[in-house]
Amino acid sequence: MRSRRVIHTVDSHTEGMPTRVVTGGIGTVPGATMGERRTYFQEHLDHLRTWL
C-alpha cells in the first residue's frame, strides 16, 4: 500500500515521558510565535496529532 503523505518524526523520552517531535512532512504552520503556531495546529491540524 502506498501512502500519499510521509511525516517525519523523532521519538524520545523526556524525564521518563514519551515524546514525539514532528520534523517534517506537514508543511509550514502559519504564525509569528510558537504560541500562534500551536493554536493554529490545534484548530486546523489536530487530526494529525491524534493520528500520530
The pLDDT tens digits of the residues spanning 1-46 come to 677 888 999 999 989 999 999 999 998 999 999 999 999 999 999 9
**Does residue 1 fall inside a structural domain?**
no
Q: The dihedral of CA 27, 32, 33, 39: what is its sign? A: negative
* Residue 37 pLDDT: 93
**Does residue 32 fall inside a structural domain?**
yes
Q: What predicted TM-score, i.e. pTM, was given to this entire model?
A: 0.66
Q: Are strands 8-14 and 17-24 parallel, antiparallel or unpaired?
A: antiparallel
- Expressed as residue numbers, the domain containing 21 is 8-51
* Residue 5 pLDDT: 82
Distance CA(37)–CA(9), nearest Å, equals 18
**Does residue 24 fall inside a structural domain?**
yes
Distance CA(9)–CA(23), nearest Å, equals 5
The total number of structural domains in the chain stands at 1
**Does residue 27 fall inside a structural domain?**
yes
How buried is 10 (Cβ within 10 angstroms: 0-12 exposed, 13-18 middle, 19+ buried)? exposed
